[in-house]
Structure 1
Amino acid sequence: MSIFVTGVGVALPGADTAAALAAAVSPVGSVDPAAVLGKKGLRYKDRATQLGLVAGLRVLTDAGLWRDGVLNVDGNRVAVLVSSNLGNVDTACRVARTIADEGTRGLSPMDTPNASSNIIASEVAIRFGLHGPNLMVCNGPGSGLDALRWGAALLRSGRADQAVVIGVEPDNEIVRELVGGPVADGGAALVLERSEAAEARGATVHAEIGGHVRVAGPAAGYERLAAGEPAPLTGWFASGAAAEVLPAELPGHDLSAIWGELSGALGLVQAAAAIGGFAAGARGPVCLVAGSDDDDGSAALVLRPPAPAAPRPAAV
């Protein structure tokens, strides 16, 4: 069974499509969730949740699953997976500070639900009527690629026909204090789909999910996937120290150098940028790598370009 990418959604400053992301050289402005979603229902949602909803709407629309405000597939068969390491940490810190200073009576009933660690995944599911498996992945630098792997696993097990996988991080004062610098205020999303389901509804295929590994270092992950891939890898995406140990003879892309710390959004942003490259003519599989030798683990995943469309029979 093949797992296809049938939707791409991007929510980064100045980049709202995979093509724009692939061509971006610096952030421009900021993402305005109200302009995309409308103001209704956003008032009490934290920044990370709002950004996740933007990416969710864009990816569902791109996949053809959301038209005129309606989901056109069985929501019980659509899974949601969100990767975010920093997501609602500002809310959690604010709630903890209020309890310390004022006790529980000082808490706002509108604010405390946002302190739940799975708030982004839950809100995406509620907003779009996605009632399949729902997972929040907060697993360090490899989190986004791990979320893609878990999404593919849910599809292969028959638990869902489509999986909406989102990676998102907010930029705010508390987050900057924790990571020591600017954070990419946004993220990206993919719709993964079982090949049979995609073919049955005539979905456009943007890419195919290849192998995934979790190892002790980025070089080892890259080498294992390269050895198992039928076609030679033609490039890679990695950030910081991980980029320094990957093959210099192949085209490499460090998206953190453009967007700042991507954390849990890294793997999804890498995948969206790679798909933007495929749409622009790049050919051959690429390796996405997250995590360095200094981290407790690294993840790597192969993304393959879509197969060329079969030629139509000549008219008689």
Structure 2
Amino acid sequence: MTVRINGVGLALRGVSKPADLLADIPVGEAPPVDPAQRLGARGLRYKDRATQLALCAVRDALSDAVESDVEGSGDGLTAVVVASVTGNLGTVCAVTSTIAQEGTRGVSPMDLPNASSNVVASSVAIRFGLRGPNLTVCNGNTSGVDALFWARSLLESGRARRVVVVGVEPAGEASQRLLGGEVLDGAVALVLSREGTGARIAGFVRTREPAACLDELRTPDLWLTPGPEPTRAGVVVRDVNTVFGHAAGALGVLQCAVADEWLRANDAATAVITAGDPGDVVGGCLIERGQVERGSS
């Protein structure tokens, strides 16, 4: 079965449209995304930053998608899969600290829903009326690639007609202590479906080394991978972490959006994205260029 990228939405510093993913923008100097400015303040109160960023990206991805329905499908066939390592970590740390110091009576009832690891995915589904399967993938640096895999599985099995895939990592004291350095502080959303003419999600592999993914998938035109990797003749290699900050669980989804835009902008055929921990588990995904321009972007 063919699985296509039919919509892209971005909530990233210094980025206003998919083409900006390839531009030489000083992202570190750009102001943080202001969800209230983009969505309006209504409905954002008591929601953590990861949820707010995801809502911004999903709104734009649904608007960008072919046959879009921003208010939701209402048919139970639109799924949500979220990839994040530190999504609600700040809330969890705050709640546990309060319980340790004051007991459970000191915890605000408005904070407790945000302590669930699935709060981003469920909030997206509620906001946009997406009634299909709902899943959060939070298994480390391969989370983004794994989210794409599970999205394709939902489509191939017929459990969903389309899947909204979100990668999100918020900046904050807790996430910076865990990940170190600059954190992404943003969200990327993709709309995948079984129809359309956008870029194709063509295959997946799990190995122990990033370079081995190319051996099992294909030598591509573009290789998106974190960290230093040996160059290969004719292959452009990029590390988006150096541009946008440590993307952690959101990396695979961000890489997929960058690959989609790069393939169309350069009239290239294939890209491979790899993410994970070399020597342990690395996930790879092959992306093939679509037939025509996708959506309104």
Per the normalisation by structure 1, the TM-score is: 0.88
Alpha-carbon deviation of 1:244? 1.4
1:65 and 1:263 map into 2 onto residues whose CA distance is 31
1:258 to 243, 255, 260: 243
Equivalence map 1:10-21=2 (5 Å): 10-21=10-21
Amino acid at match of 1:171: A
2:212 to 220, 224, 241: 220
Equivalence map 1:85-124=2 (5 Å): 85-124=85-124
Contact 2:74/2:129 (<8 A) preserved: no
Contact 2:10/2:187 (<8 A) preserved: yes
Contact 1:90/1:174 (<8 A) preserved: yes
Q: Which is further off, 170-179 or 115-124?
A: 170-179
Q: Which is further off, 246-255 or 98-107?
A: 246-255
The unaligned stretches of length 5 or more in structure 2 are none
SS at match of 1:141: coil
2:64 and 2:292 map into 1 onto residues whose CA distance is 20
Contact 2:198/2:291 (<8 A) preserved: no
1:275 and 1:125 map into 2 onto residues whose CA distance is 25
Residue of structure 2 in register with 1:235 after alignment = 222
2:266 and 2:282 map into 1 onto residues whose CA distance is 29
Per the normalisation by structure 2, the TM-score is: 0.93
Contact 1:216/1:293 (<8 A) preserved: yes
Amino acid at match of 1:184: L
Q: How many residues align?
A: 291
> What RMSD, in angstroms, separates the aligned Cα atoms of the two structures?
1.6
1:305 to 289, 292, 296: 289
Alpha-carbon deviation of 1:245? 3.9
The unaligned stretches of length 5 or more in structure 1 are 199-204, 227-231, 310-316
SS at match of 2:229: helix
Alpha-carbon deviation of 1:24? 4.0
User: Which deviations, in whole Å up to 9, do the C-alpha atoms of 1:244-277 show, x marking residues without a partner?
Assistant: 1452641111101111210011111111111221
Alpha-carbon deviation of 1:64? 4.3
2:208 and 2:192 map into 1 onto residues whose CA distance is 27
Q: Which of these two proteins has the greater Rg computed from alpha carbons?
A: 1
Alpha-carbon deviation of 1:282? 3.1
1:31 corresponds to 2:23? no
Runs (4+) of structure 1 exceeding 6 A deviation are: none
SS at match of 2:76: helix
Alpha-carbon deviation of 1:223? 1.0
1:246 and 1:167 map into 2 onto residues whose CA distance is 27
SS at match of 1:58: helix
2:121 and 2:39 map into 1 onto residues whose CA distance is 17
Contact 1:84/1:168 (<8 A) preserved: yes
CA distance 1:114–1:261, change in 2 (3 Å): same
Residue of structure 2 in register with 1:312 after alignment = none
